[in-house]
C-alpha cells in the first residue's frame, strides 16, 4: 500500500486517504502576534487538556512577545471538516510493531508535538473564523493528525489524531492576545 492510500481518520469520523482528497493546501504558512505569553500558563493548559493529560517534559520558562511564524505540512478539508496534518519520520523502533498508539503518544509528549499541534489548530481556527461565514469549531474542525511515516504498515497505520475541545482553542487565542487563559 502506498502512503497516499493509508487510511486516515477514525471510527465514527470517516476514514479516508490522502489520495482521495480534493481540497488541500500544502505548507500553509501562518503568522500571529504573541503578547506576553507565559510559557508556564501555556504548558499548564496543554497538560490539562491534551494527550489525555499524560506527563510530558516541562516547557522552558519564558515570555513570548512578537510574531510567531510557522508552516503546517498539510491542511485539508474532508466532508466539510478541516484538518491539519504533520508528517513525522521519527524512528520508534524496529518493525511495524513499534508504532503502537502508546509509542506514538510517547514520542508526541517527549518532543512536545502537543504544543505544535495546538498552535497549528489555533492558526486554522483563526483562519476559518475569518473566512467561513457560519464557522463553528465543533462542526468544522476535524482535528490534528500526526502521520508517523515509518509506521504506515503497522496496525495503527502510524496515525495519531487529536482534537482539543473548543475551550482550549479559545483559551489559547486569549493567551496569545495577552489576556488570561480561562480553560
CB 140 within 8 A of CB 82: yes
Q: Which of 38, 73, 86, 136 is catalytic?
A: 86
CA dist 161 and 154 (Å) reads 16
Positive or negative CA dihedral for 137, 37, 58, 127? Answer: positive
CA dist 99 and 117 (Å) reads 19
CA dist 123 and 174 (Å) reads 13
User: Residue 86 catalytic?
Assistant: yes
Residue showing cell 512578537: 66
Residues with a known catalytic role: 86
Amino acid at each position: 500500500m502506498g502512503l497516499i492510500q493509508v487510511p486516515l481518520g477514525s471510527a465514527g469520523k470517516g476514514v479516508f486517504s490522502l489520495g482521495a482528497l480534493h481540497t488541500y493546501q500544502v505548507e500553509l504558512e501562518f503568522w500571529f502576534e504573541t503578547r506576553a505569553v507565559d510559557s508556564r500558563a501555556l504548558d499548564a493548559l496543554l497538560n490539562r487538556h491534551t494527550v489525555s493529560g499524560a506527563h510530558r517534559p516541562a516547557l522552558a520558562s519564558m515570555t513570548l512577545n512578537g510574531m510567531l511564524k510557522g508552516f503546517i505540512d498539510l491542511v485539508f478539508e474532508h466532508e466539510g471538516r478541516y484538518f491539519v496534518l504533520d508528517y513525522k519520520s521519527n524512528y520508534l523502533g524496529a518493525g511495524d510493531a513499534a508504532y503502537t498508539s502508546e509509542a506514538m503518544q510517547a514520542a508526541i509528549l517527549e518532543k512536545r508535538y502537543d504544543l505544535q499541534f495546538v498552535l497549528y489548530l489555533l492558526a486554522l481556527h483563526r483562519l476559518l473564523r475569518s473566512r467561513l461565514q457560519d464557522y463553528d469549531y465543533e462542526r468544522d474542525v476535524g482535528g490534528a493528525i500526526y502521520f508517523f511515516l515509518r509506521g504506515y504498515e503497522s496496525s495503527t497505520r502510524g496515525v495519531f489524531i487529536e482534537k482539543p475541545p473548543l475551550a482550549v482553542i479559545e483559551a489559547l487565542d486569549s493567551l496569545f492576545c495577552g489576556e488570561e487563559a480561562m480553560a
